[in-house]
Amino acid sequence: MDRSKLYRRFRTLLIANRGEIACRVIRTARAMGLRTVAVYSEADRDAMHVALADEAVLLGPARARDSYLNVERLIEAARKTGAEAVHPGYGFLSENAEFAHACLDAGLVFVGPTAGMMTAMGSKSGSKALMEKAGVPLVPGYHGEAQDEATLAKAAEEIGFPILVKASAGGGGRGMRIVRSAAELVPAIVSAKREAKAAFGDDTMLIEKYVDNPRHIEVQIIGDSHGNLLSLFERECTLQRRHQKVIEEAPSPTLNAAQREMVCAAARKAAGAVNYVGAGTIEFVSDGKDVFFIEMNTRLQVEHPVTELITGIDLVEWQLRVAFGEALPLKQDEIRLNGHAVEARVYAENPTKNFMPAVGKISTWRLPAETGGLRIDAGYREGDSVSPYYDAMLAKMIAWAPTRDVAIERLNRGLEDSDVRGIVTNIPFLSALMTHPKVRANAIDTGFIERELAVLTAAAPAPGELELCAAVAAIVNQERQAAQAETHSPWQTFGWMPVGRRQRSFTFRAGHGVGHGVGHGPEQKITLNYGSGPSTLVIDERELAFAIAPKDGGFDLTLDGVKSSVAAVIDGHELYLRTRNGRFDLHWVDPFGGESEEQAGEDKIAAPLPGTVVAVLAEEGAKLDKGAPILTLEVMKMEQTLRAPYAGVLKSIKCKVGDIVQEGVELAVVEPSGE
């Protein structure tokens, strides 16, 4: 094929993606002088990537299959805007050979490997066969064409349990199940096939021996059209949940120099088997002794920033230069490893509720400045809405330092200084993870988060003296600023009175108030004395002098001569505070009463978020044990199984497979057995 059809210089780039990766590609492309075109769905009209691009084209409705996965509309968007090239980002169509081929047919440069390379390496089954022929070490498994249950069951028995059932076209943990016994196999295959079909349009499965206490190691590679193929060191992505990466770091703290060279050489050999062009990742699993090939991702990875920080290479820039037809600017022996980098994925999800995705409007978005070795790749801003239609990742926070210990400290400080409100996020969970002594000691495997989940999601400590004083200070500070902005009158300024003293009482409870789904703590009272003379707070008969100095995002609170920095967000009677002791949610009890104690029952079997019913797992009239599965929803591209809240009889099912249901809609009724 004529190389000029595949690789040539262009001036206008369409980014066939959304969110953080679209924003990240746009920034590098514009820095290189390129004109950028964003695409968006109806749910993303006001999204950050749309605002950043030079032009933007509406693809269609919110559902990905009607917008971001619609090849014809993407090609038409390129035609309308004069785009000469397409960058697919990651996810969506980034590893879709048909899309790469459609771009070529439309005269567009596809920033990535060719359709043939994708077909060879993008299929987990196909790539394993290729690697076996090339002599790359493999995990024992089955990657054949026969997909009937009998064949898969026989293969599983021959390999030996535990095994891993995986979608051949998958990624991100979707269509993947650990199976520890023959009895679990068929339900796991059925569920994994269904999830894979919905996510990738392909339900082909492969089976691998499940490596106990595994570590996940991957190597970044990149090749050009001149025959150069480089490895850019390795990353460790062992900290995972649901087979999705949570924390990534580079280089791997597990490998020594000899092992590093061995795994990087194996990665180059794997990519060289198809004369690979573009950026990609060769993924391996390690049992602590040996390293086995598991798959190749023929695209940029979410975690690519850690590689960029230890090498000083902008991978998106190199992707674009390869697409221009240029040779890679460095040789293998010119690439240097410098320091250590760690990345955390910030998600809209609730770790205390099995990482249930969260939706809603971001009312507060405060992340620290990108200084001192800290980098933040974000796809959202304050005021943006998180919809149920796409992946729930909001941003990535990455820290670099000369050593791993310092990089972890920098990342944790960045997480501790972050305040995102309006939706539930995993930020406190990430901070707990980074401060866990076993993570610091690298004494982990891919099952670590599941084993330590109770510790990592432990309830926040009860608010103490500092937090109660800070709550009063936050209310007073807000009232004072509102009064000053309205009247500029000294009579409205807190603490200013010609004579006399006044007293004001406050009552708080830990957690949010009625309707927020958080349990109520005991009421705690505190009294404010103000007027002529110093202002004081009285708590448990202890009187404290205090002062407030406002600043962005909060204030400095001085209590008996000790100054503390406080971040604060107030939404009506709900307060969020971040002090040196951690993060706290408090409810300011209405001083005029009128609060209702009615709360939605936890026994209601309702849709936790908008989603699609993909399976009904029990029949009306069936006797159910507590925790028995009733139905499965697909929510934000992940399956969520709703279970019986107690032992009883399934009285009715109010939905059927294929139904699109809204948040809060009751889907089934269980009549308790009374036992």
Compute CA distances 96 → 112, 298, 395, 571, whole Å. 11, 9, 24, 45
Q: For residue 242, name the pLDDT band (cuts at 50, 70, 90).
A: confident
Q: Which structure tokens are listed for 536?
A: 């004081």
Residue 496 pLDDT? 46
User: What is the Cα–Cα distance from 621 to 651, expressed in whole angstroms?
Assistant: 6
Which residue(s) pair with 642 in the sheet? 631
Query: Which uninterrupted H or E stretch holds 439?
Result: helix 437-440
Task: Kindly tell me if the per-residue pLDDT of 598 is higher than 50.
Answer: no
Say which residue the tokens 């009506």 belong to. Answer: 572
Cα distances (Å, whole numbers) of residue 378 to 2, 23, 39, 407, 582:
38, 8, 17, 20, 24
Beta bridge partner(s), residue 663 = none
pLDDT at 141: 86
What's the CATH code, domain 215-447? 3.30.470.20
pLDDT in tens, 60-71: 999 999 999 999
Contact 36, 17 (CB under 8 A): no
pLDDT confidence bin for 649, thresholds 50/70/90: very high
Q: Please answer whether residues 517 and 525 qualify as being in contact, where contact means their C-beta atoms are separated by less than 8 angstroms.
A: no
pTM, two decimals, is 0.81
Arithmetic mean of pLDDT, 99-106? 97
Mean pLDDT throughout 385-402?
A: 95
Go through the chain and tell me how many residues it has: 675
Pick the CATH number of 465-588 from 3.30.300.340, 3.30.700.40, 3.40.50.2300, 3.40.50.300: 3.30.700.40
Within 8 A by CB and 6+ apart from 148, the residues are: none
Question: What value does the mean pLDDT take over residues 340-360?
Answer: 94
At the topology level of CATH, where does 3-111 sit? Rossmann fold (3.40.50)
pLDDT-wise least confident of 83-87, 214-218, 292-296, 310-314: 292-296
CB-based contacts of 515: which residues, under 8 Å, 6+ apart?
599
Identify the residue with better confidence: 627 or 617. Answer: 617
The predicted pLDDT at position 197 comes to 87
| Domain covering 605-672, topology | OB fold (Dihydrolipoamide Acetyltransferase, E2P) (2.40.50)
Beta strands in 95-204 (DSSP E): 109-110, 141-142, 163-167, 176-179
Neighbours of 542 (CB within 10 A): 9
Query: At 513, is the pLDDT very low, low, confident or very high (cuts 50, 70, 90)?
Result: low
What does the CA dihedral 179, 180, 184, 190 come to, rounded to 10 degrees? 10
Q: How far apart are CA 377 and CA 20, in angstroms?
A: 6
- How far is it, in rounded angstroms, from Cα 246 to Cα 456? 13
Do 506 and 588 contact (CB within 8 A), yes or no? Answer: yes
- Report the alpha-carbon distance of residue 442 to residue 252 in Å, rounded: 10
Q: How far is Cα 97 from Cα 41, in angstroms, rounded to an integer?
A: 23
CATH number of 140-209: 3.30.1490.20
The pLDDT tens digits for 12-37 are: 999 999 999 999 999 999 999 999 99
Cα separation, 613 vs 626, in Å, equals: 21
pLDDT in tens, 514-566: 444 344 568 999 999 988 788 899 998 899 999 999 998 899 999 999 999 99
Tokens standing for residue 247? 């924390």
Distance CA 147, CA 629 (A): 26
pLDDT digits (tens, 9 = 90+) for 162-190: 999 988 876 667 888 999 999 999 999 99
Task: Quote the pLDDT of residue 531.
Answer: 81
Structural domain spans, the chain: 3-111, 140-209, 215-447, 465-588, 605-672
Q: Give tens-digit pLDDT for 430-459.
A: 999 999 999 999 999 999 999 999 999 998
**Predicted local confidence at residue 461, as pLDDT:** 87
Rounded to whole angstroms, the Cα distance separating 413 from 391 reads 26
| 260, 265, 270, 275: CA torsion to nearest 10 | 130
> Which has more confidence, 492 or 244?
244
Q: Has residue 86 got a pLDDT over 90?
A: yes
Residue 5 has what pLDDT?
78
Cβ–Cβ < 8 Å for 379, 23: yes
User: Does position 495 have pLDDT exceeding 60, yes or no?
Assistant: no
* Bridge partner residues of 163 (DSSP): 179, 209
Residue that has been written with the tokens 């330092």 in this structure: 401
φ/ψ of 122, rounded to 5, equals -75, -30
Which are the catalytic amino acids? 299
Q: Identify whether the C-beta of residue 319 lies closer than 8 Å to the C-beta of residue 111.
A: yes
The whole-chain average pLDDT of the chain stands at: 90
